[in-house]
Structure 1
Amino acid sequence: MAIDEKQDKDTATSLGRLTRRSFLSRMGAAGVATAAAPLAAATATAEPAAQTATAAPAIPGTIPVTLKVNGESHAVQIDPRATLLDTLRETLHLTGTKKGCDHGQCGACTVHLDGRRVNSCLTFAAMHQNSEITTIEGLGTPEHLHPMQAAFVAHDGFQCGYCTSGQIMSASAMVKEPWGPADTDVKEGMSGNICRCGAYPNIVAAVQSVRRSA
């Protein structure tokens, strides 16, 4: 490029006249600004949207319920028709209580309500806001087993283990009930808990060992 031509272009730029180079520079800057505008708007609205999602209203048809489970209070929104079993498992994620028949016939879902054994599949959670609910998770811990849990381990009172939590919850309540001392009394008292593996002799032995040491 000749020196005179370069000087002419530089002079034109300094005087504010539009040259090819200045035109392309300005177009590039405009393009960047145009592209950045939607991104800035999206960023500005993202935070309020996230806050709205966090503060979403309760699902229509649910009701607020406060349940005291294993000594802790839990405020939850549930369907008023939700059973205690489903609320424990699906809402509070206490899955030690098992769903077997869901008709109150197998005893796998046994929990304590104020110390009394019940089939949690047959009662509504909303009915027990004033109850002390105890599940297998609240009976003992691996480091400090409840005497009935320790007895089931010592007497091999389980095989597949699916019914075991219900068996233990039922047995730990039964020892406080007025049953006779014989094995047949234990069998009668535990008749609502079914073991498909057939570990009944060991279950009876475990229950009796706790009763005799009480």
Structure 2
Amino acid sequence: MTQLQAIRRDDHLLVLWAWPDAALTARVRWRREDASADGDGPRDGDIRCQRRVYEHDGGLDLRLGRGAVTLTVEALVPDPAVDTEGAASLRIAAEPPIVEYEPTLRRRLNGTRYATVTFATRTGCDLPAVHVVHGLGRYRPTSTAEGAVLHEVPAQRLPAGAPLVVKFPFPGTRGPSWLVCFPADAPDTDIDLRPTALHRLRVT
């Protein structure tokens, strides 16, 4: 096998390779290197891939999570004398876990306003310290320099399926305003911090 590569698509891998002329079947093995890997199925795998299916689908799609994976692909041919160039191996580095957040604005009975930001992850990870930035105007902030830090979320463990909700006072404003989160120590962070939807970042 030659030209072995893998393209990440969230928690899936699209595995591609160049087939030897005589091969109609390939043996694909993988080993997920993180014991707590977030993909479905066993940590180790060993399957057969038919060339006609591979060509129809445009590659081999594997759901193996976002952790580090080692792949090995080997051509299987009926004649052992045919040179298949041996097995090819590839290590795919881990992708950072995704943490989604969503800000909302609420008003108390006395008229004062407060904001909440909900953080959630499907995989469980260590959430670094996060700055919640308030920006004014038509355009959302793209860094902490483009707004005021209203709240700092301390670093902590964020379990899978257990959202973290933080609450803090929200100042009086006129016109459009935004709440956007940035890692306090960016770019030195091990997570992918992203909003559930960009339009939800605008709170007034």
Q: TM-score when scaled to structure 2?
A: 0.25
Query: Would you tell me which structure has more strand in proportion to its own residues?
Result: 2
Structure number with the bigger relative contact order (C-alpha 8 A, sep ≥ 6) is 2
Q: Normalised by the size of structure 1, how large is the TM-score?
A: 0.24
Whose helix fraction is larger, Structure 1's or Structure 2's? Answer: 1
Tell which structure's C-alpha radius of gyration is larger.
1
